[in-house]
Structure 1
Amino acid sequence: MASRRITQSSINWSALSERVPESQRSQFLAFKAKSDAYLRRVMANPEKPPVIDWAFYKSRVPVAGMVDDFQKQYGGLTIPFPADTVSSQIDAQEKEIKNDIAKFKTESNARIEEYKKQLAHIASLIPYDQMTMEDYRDAYPEEALDPINRPTYWPHNKEDQIDYSEKAPQPNH
């Protein structure tokens, strides 16, 4: 796998460019320029090393056996490519992230539907500037003043009431 020749970038730059925020556009373009320069440098080299004319060197080098020894060593030279040990981890992370994204989408769609219901309810109400106190009480019974069942003191804020006690903020989980 690692011994195949790279002929072009496997990155879809246009799709990636669409996701880059405008504030990071210059960094993205610098990264793309470096990647393209690297690809050009790789492509400038031949796919296979040039063939060595061993007969030419045998005729020129006066030490007997030296070129034969070099040829034998050169022929036996193999460059080991590192084993791919992280692709499976990356694939597992990709599947996990895709599951997280799908879960987030379903949760978001559920929230959107709830918000649409709330917006429809608000749209069905009488505009605030046309509401009477009774209309407000009917629309928001938990927030409206109820002097009979829940009397309050002026200015009718929670903090100004006799039974008010400040609660510690709840941690968000």
Structure 2
Amino acid sequence: MASKQAAVKVVNWSQLLERTTAQTRPRILAFKNKTDAIVAANLKAKEQDASINWDHYQNVVTDQALVADFKQKFESFKVPQPVDNKSAQLNEKAKADIAAVTKFNEELDAKINNIRVNLDRLLSLPAVEQLTIDDIYEHFPQRRPDYQKYPYWPHRHPNDLSKFYEQYS
């Protein structure tokens, strides 16, 4: 019972009323009163016994066969409950999704660490004005031309030239 009442008091009405204008306060108070009445009626209905007192109806109704017929039909009627055939699939999918998210986060953390290492390396370089061409080739080996394999300018494979020119255009 206390848990039901605790769930009802989720809205802090005093803070809500403090933060609203004077024109809207009566509407909010009316809404609060209506919701409180609905919640109270709901809690009261849940506390009442939902079973049928058949002895009372047998004493009040003159046609005993009618009461017996209603009682027999009421007790024989079973409300069909839906079969839960999706929860297992959804739980498996949730586990797979959690594994995929974990894997993605690990890959992302690895990329972030790689970027941080690269950033730290770039920040540790001397100023651009102080770099020589040999320093650039030392810190960026992918830029070093291969004079042995390609002795003529641009010292790269012809298939790599489109990538090379796209970088500088």
Q: TM-score, normalised by structure 1?
A: 0.50
* Equivalent residue, structure 1, for 2:68: 68
* Equivalent residue, structure 1, for 2:119: 119
Q: What do the CA deviations read for 1:28-59 (whole angstroms, capped 9, x no partner)?
A: xxxxxxxxx9xx68756427852323233223
Compare CA radii of gyration and give the structure with the larger one: 2
- Report how far residue 91 of structure 1 moved: 1.2
Q: TM-score, normalised by structure 2?
A: 0.51
Structure 2 residue runs without a partner (length 5+): 6-34, 146-150, 155-160, 164-169
Q: What do the CA deviations read for 1:91-125 (whole angstroms, capped 9, x no partner)?
A: 11011112212211221232123212212211221
Letter in 1 for 2:113: E
Q: What do the CA deviations read for 1:68-93 (whole angstroms, capped 9, x no partner)?
A: 11111122222222121111101110
Structure 1 residue 104 corresponds to structure 2 residue 104? yes
Q: CA–CA distance in 2 between the matches of 1:150 and 1:49?
A: 96
* Equivalent residue, structure 2, for 1:4: none
Matches within 5 A, 1:24-39: none
Tell me which stretches of 4 or more aligned residues in structure 1 moved more than 6 Å.
none
Residue identity (%): 24
Matches within 5 A, 1:5-84: 45-46=45-46, 50-84=50-84
- Report how far residue 65 of structure 1 moved: 0.5
Comparing 89-98 with 128-137, greater Cα deviation is found at 128-137
Q: CA–CA distance in 2 between the matches of 1:113 and 1:138?
A: 22
Measured at CA, do residues 74 and 141 of structure 1 come closer, stay the same or move farther in structure 2, by a change above 3 Å? Answer: closer
Greater relative contact order (Cα < 8 A, sep 6+):
1
Structure 1 residue 94 corresponds to structure 2 residue 91? no
